[in-house]
Chains A and B, each alone.
Chain A
Amino acid sequence: MKMGREGDVVVTHALGSCLGLMIYDPSIKVGGMLHAMLPMAKINPQKAEANPYMFVDTGVVRLFKEIYRLGGKKSRLVVKAAGCASPIGKDEMFKIGKRNYTVLKKLLWKNNVLLDAEAVGGTVSRTVHFHISTGQILIKSGQHQEFSL
């Protein structure tokens, strides 16, 4: 997880099936990004203790806590998601990206938070540039044109 203030650009590379969650408070220009690999911390409690940001369920909660600590207000937050890709085929075992997304949606739903935008799924591996001064989020993957989320 990385937090940023005005002037910062928060970057994460090659999300793959990982979830990238970006939250932003435009009135105080503070934002943060989570890069979580797996849906649930219970798969490896030891790792979760050392690095809760590796998991969607524990990481998302911390991301929100952190932005509140920096002065963010829930009513003002802009929340966007990226990543959660999967390889080709129907094998559910490899749909970790889909499971990451499902856990995110459940968590947000429980807490009455809506996603303002998302670039999720497919087979592309996304790189995210999050400009904290403007709140702009740029997404690039493979040979595709970069776009603003």
Chain B
Amino acid sequence: MSVPAERPLAAAGSPVGDATIGKPPAAGLSLPAMLGILAGVCLLWNGVLYLTGLWAPLWWLALFVDFVLIVLVAERIGRNVPPKRRKLYERTLAFGFPVLALVAWQLIVDAGILNPLWFPQPTRIAAALWDLTVHFDRFSGTSLLGRPWLIPWKFESDGWAGVWSLFAESHVWATLGRVAAGFVIGAIPGIMLGVVMGINQTVRLMLDTTLSAIYVLPKIAIFPIVMLMFADPFGEGPKIAVVALSVFFLMAINTMAGVRDIDPVFVMAGRNYGARGLPLYRHVIIPAALPVIFAGLRLALGTALIVIISIEFLRAKQGVGYMTFYYWEVLNPEKMYAGLVVVMILGVVLTYGLQWLQKKLMPWARG
């Protein structure tokens, strides 16, 4: 009895339910109001903790709650951002948060909650970075960037050789050169082998196991062997070679996966419309595999940086890794951190370069 009685009830109820569900979420408060509430709540939370003396022992909890509060408010704001302001909103989140994190770091160390010897304040790291940039280290004959402001002066006195000597003293250019050379020397043959392995089953069956085994081997472990293969074991050769090797294996395996994943109907269409041999690669196989190839290149870039920094830790007289390790040895944490910052900047800049290249080579990619 009750079952049929419920049906009309539910039916009668549904329009009401729809009306409530269909309503947009209560139109958000204005932006300043939201930010005001956020500031107020944060201040209240941190203030209460501070006044009760709990902030210092519970600083991580305080920051975590602040983080959650910011996320909640940012989500609210994000829901009502007009499409025109969307970019600005996203930028603010992407760059605003790291700035906030740095400020928090600064305050915590200033307050003596964390030891400045291990976690020097961001301002002191920045100062150290500036110091490294403008000063020439007489002892090792190096500088961070190679003092580019001296280029006109050096060019006048010593010509191109003088300019070159400036580049040669730079840690950044030393690292960048090794990464770039190793990257190019490793990636191009790696991609080519990967394409062949993706297409040809015989080659794939013969090489796949070996390649996978070598791929998982930490390349730094073969550095000593590679050193012995070069006439000058302490020169640039072995360093570049190890970067190239790690990039090579990664790119071969990635590209192979990308080529194998190509929808066969594209290859069929290519062949049916007369693409054979090289044109088939140029017009069908390579473009179809490009997204995966670029994903591989990004991974390879990270790997290349890891490898070169480790090698510079171990055995180099120059390079950002060497510099970082050197300042650790002489217990100068600000400059050590400055070295890490430089590595990060290198990573970001190189990733952007790769993205730029991807946009150029893959104009069809979405977004």
A, B bound: no
Task: Identify the B interface with A (CB < 8 A).
Answer: none
Task: Identify the A interface with B (CB < 8 A).
Answer: none
